[in-house]
Amino acid sequence: MLPLTTANFVNLSISPSTFQIAALHILYACVAIFLCVAASGSMTAFLLIAFFIDVLLTEWLSHIHTMWQQRGCLQINENGDIRWQKGEYLQSGQLTKIPLQTSYLIVISVTFPSHQSRRKQERYFVISRDCCHGDDFRTLSLYTRSIINFK
């Protein structure tokens, strides 16, 4: 089926896992301890360094989606079938529109090819009710420029 619309500026962010965040906290704590011991061994210096590094780490993690950002092309047909193409990879899935009081919750379920197994993930975002009338997804590309998070 030919898609009715193509969104060329869809941004997809891959959130880091809990283990990755914990590993980064441990790594920065080890660096802080090492710097403290190497500098003077002072407990006050250790606490200041650890606090400073943790603040930097927290700030960095709050903006990590911009570092993991991927750009792709989202194609949607009249049935809500979607295709997302990034470089040589092509995934397909289904778009589901769930009506809320003042907006729609859009759920995109996609199966990604992995090394030996396939893994299914979903992306969620919210659009205005003014965007789509009935099951018409043709104008959806205008509302897909915001970041869609992996859940």
Angstrom CA distances, 21 to 12, 15, 62, stand at 19, 10, 11
- Of 105, 103, 107, 104, the closest CA to residue 94 belongs to 107
Give the residue from 33, 50, 66 where a domain finishes: 66
Reported as a single tens digit per residue, the pLDDT across 68-119 is 334 445 555 555 566 655 544 545 566 666 666 666 666 666 655 554 555 6
Q: Same structural domain for residues 47 and 85?
A: no
Q: Are residues 10 and 22 in the same domain?
A: no
Note whether 80 and 61 are same-domain residues: no
Question: Rounded CA gap, 51 and 120, in Å?
Answer: 38
Range(s) of the domain holding residue 142: 5-14+72-150
Is residue 31 very low, low, confident or very high in pLDDT (cuts 50, 70, 90)? confident
Confidence at residue 138, expressed as pLDDT on a 0 to 100 scale? 45
**Are 36 and 109 members of one domain?**
no
Residues 85 and 146 in one domain: yes
Question: Could you tell me the two tokens for 126?
Answer: 């919210």
What confidence tens digit (pLDDT) does each residue in 33-74 have? 776 676 666 666 667 777 777 667 666 655 544 333 344 455
96 and 54 together in one domain: no
Q: Give the chain's domain count.
A: 2
For residues 100 and 36, membership in a common domain is answered with no
Verify that 118 and 140 share a domain, yes or no: yes
Burial-class residue 78 by CB neighbours within 10 Å (0-12, 13-18, 19+).
middle
Q: Which residue has the tokens 């301890």?
A: 33
pLDDT number for residue 48: 72
Q: What is the pLDDT of residues 13-25, one digit of tens each?
A: 344 556 666 676 6
- My answer on whether 59 and 76 are in the same domain is no
Closest among 108, 13, 31 to 70, alpha carbons compared: 13
pLDDT at 15: 47
Q: Indicate whether 79 and 128 sit together in one domain.
A: yes
Percent of the chain having pLDDT more than 90? 0
> Is the pLDDT reported for residue 11 higher than 70?
no
27: left (phi over 0), alpha (psi -120 to 50) or beta: alpha
